[in-house]
């Protein structure tokens, strides 16, 4: 197993555990309140599906 393979595994474990920890910290009422805000949902979708990938793609081309 190379260092690159180990690094990929460690990054995946870190990402999943970090997201799980953040998810466990928020309570149900706060999450549902945020999901009822249409502006919030639109911003999340734009950043998550358009702006974020576009920025990542741009960084790979620099």
58 confidence band (pLDDT: 50, 70, 90): very high
What was the pLDDT predicted at 31?
85
**Residue 46, Ramachandran bin (φ over 0: left; ψ between -120 and 50: alpha; else beta):** alpha
Under 8 Å between Cβ of 19 and 13: no
What was the pLDDT predicted at 23?
86
**Which residue range forms the structural domain that includes residue 48?**
3-61
Under 8 Å between Cβ of 40 and 34: yes
Q: What pLDDT digit, counting tens, does each position of 2-51 carry?
A: 999 999 999 999 999 999 998 889 888 988 998 899 999 999 999 999 99
Number of domains in the chain: 1
What was the pLDDT predicted at 56?
93
What was the pLDDT predicted at 30?
86
Question: In the numeric block, which tokens belong to residue 13?
Answer: 């474990």
């Amino acid at each position: 197993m190379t260092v690159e393979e180990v690094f990929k595994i460690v990054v995946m474990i870190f990402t999943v555990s970090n997201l799980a920890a953040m998810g466990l910290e928020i309570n149900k009422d706060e999450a549902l309140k945020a999901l009822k805000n249409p502006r919030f949902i639109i911003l999340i979708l734009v950043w998550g599906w358009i702006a974020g990938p576009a920025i990542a793609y741009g960084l790979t081309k620099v």
